[in-house]
Structure 1
Amino acid sequence: VPRLFAQLALARGDGRYARLQRTLGHVQLLILDDWGLEPLNEQARHDLLEILEDRYGRKSTIITSQLPVSAWHGVIGDPTCADAILDRLVHNAHRIELSGDSLHRNLPRKA
């Protein structure tokens, strides 16, 4: 997710923004990994809402996060925008909450 917002900011500067947003809206499955690592700024909130609006009811989106959904409102920031984003995410969603130790701890480290 942090890299996605960085790419959108760069695309805004060099004229690729509309094309990148269209691409994100048309991908069959969009996976937003590591959601909530840092709070969203105003532009990231706007970008996310636009992406989700384009995909809503038409394409699939998977979000992975270590934060409970109850904390997402705070990460998004602006209450009105957070309500709109979460409405598009939570409506028609299937939630899978995992518990237990992280599998990353059991992976061999690369030298």
Structure 2
Amino acid sequence: MTNSLPDRLTKMGWNEIANHLEALLEDAARDSLSYSAFLDTLLSLEEKGKADRALKNRLQQSRLPQIKTLDNFDFTFQPSLDEKRIRDVIAREFPRDAQNILFLGPPGVGKTHLALAITYEMIKKGYRALCLTSHEFLEKAKEAMEKGDTKRFVRMLTKTDILLLDEFGFEPMDSHSANLLLQIVAQRYERGSIIITSNRSVSEWAEIVGNAALATAILDRLLHHSKAFQIRGESYRLREKKKAGFVFKATETAVNEENHRS
């Protein structure tokens, strides 16, 4: 084998073929592969390598805190959820239509799990995503305002196919952050998808952003093209603690009463 072949392949960006060329040639000779079959093997290897690297890059850029899937979500524990409807959202590739997804419900019912799982499935399909918690959003918004760099901040949150805002409403927003959120929602309207998880009902969003008119403007754009999932059920985390005998009866009663009020 000519020593320069791997180097030439690497320079052309065909890294997978370059890294495995010697073994590929040996296999081809052993199996008496035709030229077309050998070429197909080379191209398939390179295509898979490029796809794997691209997926890795998209996952890194997304800032997903962890990988979650629908297969390890216990739908039987949350009967208020329609599994088929959730899977249809993925099958129809909601980012193609810039559709928004809202998961609403009390703490611990699986909102974040579902949001991360759906986002992960879309990343695997080639979409770009960015995941931020409400706290991270507020911190980055504050930093951008202090540096006078809000345009870059808004651009960063509008250029991805999917923006995931987790735990929205966990902390109240100041007027500057709320206005930045409106800018982001407005610029993404009918151009990019937003996924939001929140334990606050939409009727409480005026309290979260501190301005009823602002909340209305945000909700008007979010809900126009959206799928909303209201989850009513027991907390997964409390279920596991109850199994271990760590939850007192009074705590269980209080949580169930709160869920019934939601």
TM-score range, shorter chain: 0.7 to 0.9
Instruction: Check if 1:17 corresponds to 2:150.
Output: yes
**SS at 1:27's partner residue?**
coil
Identity %, equivalent residues: 34
Structure 1 residues without counterparts, runs of 5 or longer: none
Q: What root-mean-square deviation, in Å, do the aligned CA atoms of Structure 1 and Structure 2 show? A: 1.6
| TM-score, with structure 1 as normaliser | 0.85
Find the counterpart in structure 2 of residue 33 from structure 1: 166
Q: State the 1:56 CA deviation.
A: 0.5
Find the counterpart in structure 2 of residue 69 from structure 1: 202
Q: State the 1:22 CA deviation.
A: 0.6
Pairs within 5 Å for 1:1-111:
1-105=134-238, 106=240
Q: d(CA) in 1 for partners of 2:219 and 2:143?
A: 26
Larger CA Rg, structure 1 vs 2: 2
Q: d(CA) in 1 for partners of 2:148 and 2:208?
A: 28
**SS at 1:30's partner residue?**
strand
Q: State the 1:17 CA deviation.
A: 2.6
Q: d(CA) in 2 for partners of 1:10 and 1:83?
A: 26
Structure 2 residues without counterparts, runs of 5 or longer: 1-133, 242-262
One-letter amino acid matched to 2:135: P
Q: Deviations over 1:7-41 (max 9, x none)?
A: 12112223443222111111111011001112221
Q: d(CA) in 2 for partners of 1:69 and 1:14?
A: 32
Provide the aligned length of Structure 1 versus Structure 2. 107
Q: State the 1:92 CA deviation.
A: 1.3
Q: d(CA) in 2 for partners of 1:71 and 1:4?
A: 19
Q: d(CA) in 1 for partners of 2:160 and 2:153?
A: 11
